[in-house]
Amino acid sequence: MFLTVIVSHLWAIACFAIHLWFSSPKSRDLLHHQRQAVLRNNGGPLNTAWILIQIIWIWRRLGAIRRIGPLVTFTLLLSSALAVATAFSARIAIGNEVLLTGDSKDSNILIDSGPIDSHSDLGLNAPQDERFSFRVVLHCAPLVTEGYRSTLNISSDRSFARYFYGEPLLSFRPSEYTPANVTYEYPDDFVTRINITGLNYAWSDYTLSALLAYVTNGTTVTDGYSDFKPITDLQRHDADTTLMFLSTNSVGFVQNTADIWYNASQSTPPEEVSPGELSDPTFVPWSHQSEPASPLACARQEQYCTSGGGNCTPLSSSHDAKLAAKSLFRDTDQYQRWKWITTATKQITADEVYVIGALRSQALASRFNFLGGVQGAIPDNQWQLDVQYWHAVQLATMQKAVVDVAIGPLADEEAEIMLEWGINSTLQLQRLAHEELGIQPWSRCDGPIPCLESSARLARLDISDAKHPKFIAETLIPEKSYTDAASLSSQPAHQTSTKESFRESSPTASLSQRKESDGDIMSM
């Protein structure tokens, strides 16, 4: 409690001091005023840093990184220092008896949602005898690659790793020249992996791919629904199988990790380190993933039950569970409600492939400790946290889908309410004040960062009447105009762009993960 008070007041004092330092009685440009407004109306170090980074991105062609960059750096450093202090404080306050860490090296995870009630959890009002429940069980584990991987040498400095976990179907085959039994292939040499993310000014990022094998009547569906047909060792006849490949490319890890999926235990090759860094005794090379594409597989089962759990379908694949549910509910009002909710939402059976397909690398929980191509320290069970995160997103998506169907599209009045929320943000209120004084034209008026489409100075503060300060607009002299930042982004870049976005909070589901346990290694 004491540290929380100290942190909040220290940040407020820092913002006040910086605001005073930059304050000027002269007329200044929009970038100056936006920085001052953010400092005055801050929401904490991380939130302030995020807004400032957006401002840098919008005004990146006008030297914003030179004027705002040091402030962002200070904000992040202060935030990190406060986080470290908080962590040590928490350890002291809690006591050693609950800070013990297990030594288990179990390398799989079983997540059981438990019964998700259509009435109490999904909000579908119905009489007791017309309700039903839904359950999903997710069993995941990283896969061994020995015996399931080969190397294809293209040239003396170019090679690809090929993985053999099943036959890819249709367009999911790596290429027409790739053998049919190659499930996935990825560059094996370090230099190629550095360039895999595209343009040279983009930050390094993860590549996360997913393949899904649907099962019906105990057999993999191969007529257009599945992405691949698993090998016998990986196939489950009572579950859908998802296969994920994680490639860290040139992402640098600040330290080695024992996580068996990320597997960051390889130091940067000497040829990729500058002579100056090699001669620096304090230089510590980044760690990198030793596996070009690390595989992880999940078996997903579903189950439907009548009200109270009296009768249930067997735990089975998504398609088989639905077929069994039709027989379980028969032609009753309960069946009609079940059919409506599964047909109307569809997302009620969203799986890992949908989550990864929509979020890409953002589906990794490790991204909450990731910045500018550098991965902060991660625990040895980070992959399990990723799986839990996917599961939480699925449950949240399920609830949201039901709500969206119930409320329908936003009416005009509701859309106006949402627009008003955005207009009342700090920088939009600032824009409204200056626009009323004739300083215009503006763009991005419906976003978080408005832009002035000319280089005119904003109004200055008149304090001739100390009890009634006000803005005064100076005579607007047309100067060279510049385009909106959106069009500027199409011009060649000369500065490193801030491609990465920060996530302030992770999506969470109010449905709790009722069961969660580690077991023996999966027989895949």
pLDDT tens digit sequence for 195-250: 555 445 567 889 999 999 999 998 998 877 889 999 999 989 999 999 999 998 88
Q: What are phi and psi of 187, to 5 degrees?
A: -55, 135
Considering only residues 360 and 203, tell me which one the structure prediction assigns the higher pLDDT: 360
Contact 149/161 with Cβ under 8 angstroms?
yes
pTM for the full predicted model: 0.59
Please enumerate in sequence order all residues whose Cβ is within 8 A of that of 400, keeping only pairs 6 or more positions apart, or say none. 347
User: Which residue did the predictor score with more confidence, 286 or 276?
Assistant: 286
Contacts of 48 (CB under 8 A, 6+ apart): 15, 38, 39, 42, 75
Return phi, psi of residue 521, to 5°.
-65, 140
Sign of the Cα torsion 251, 256, 259, 264 reads positive
The proportion of the chain whose per-residue pLDDT surpasses 90, expressed as a percent, equals 21
Helix locations, 408-457, DSSP H? 412-423, 426-435
Q: Which of left, alpha, beta for 251 (phi over 0: left; psi -120 to 50: alpha)?
A: beta
Residue 389: CB partners within 8 Å, gap ≥ 6?
363, 364, 365, 506
* pLDDT higher at 224 or 297: 297
Q: Which residues of 149-182 are buried (b: 16+ CB within 10 A; e: fewer)?
A: beeeeeeeeebbbbbbbbbbbeeebbeeebeeeb
Question: Is it the case that residue 123 has pLDDT exceeding 70?
Answer: yes
Question: What does the pLDDT read at residue 386?
Answer: 95
Neighbours of 221 (CB within 10 A): 17
Q: In the chain, pLDDT over 70 holds for what percent of residues?
A: 72
Amino acid at 437: L
**Residues forming a β-bridge with 220:** 215
- pLDDT at site 475: 53
> Per-residue pLDDT averaged across 56-77, rounded?
85
Q: What is the pLDDT of residues 91-113, one digit of tens each?
A: 433 333 333 333 445 579 999 99
Answer whether residue 366 shows pLDDT above 50.
yes
Q: Tell me which amino acid residue 117 is.
A: D
- The pLDDT of residue 87 is above 70: no
What does the chain come to in residues? 524
In the prediction, which pLDDT does 93 show?
37
- What is the pLDDT, as a whole number, of residue 519? 40
* Strand 374-375 with 252-253, pairing: parallel
- Answer yes or no: is pLDDT of 178 > 60: yes
Which residues, other chains included, contact 132 with Cβ-Cβ below 8 Å and sequence gap of 6+?
A: 118, 304, 305, 306, 307, 329, 334, 337, 338
Q: Fill in the amino acid letter for 72.
A: V
Asked if the peptide bond before residue 441 counts as cis, ω within 30 degrees of 0, the response is yes
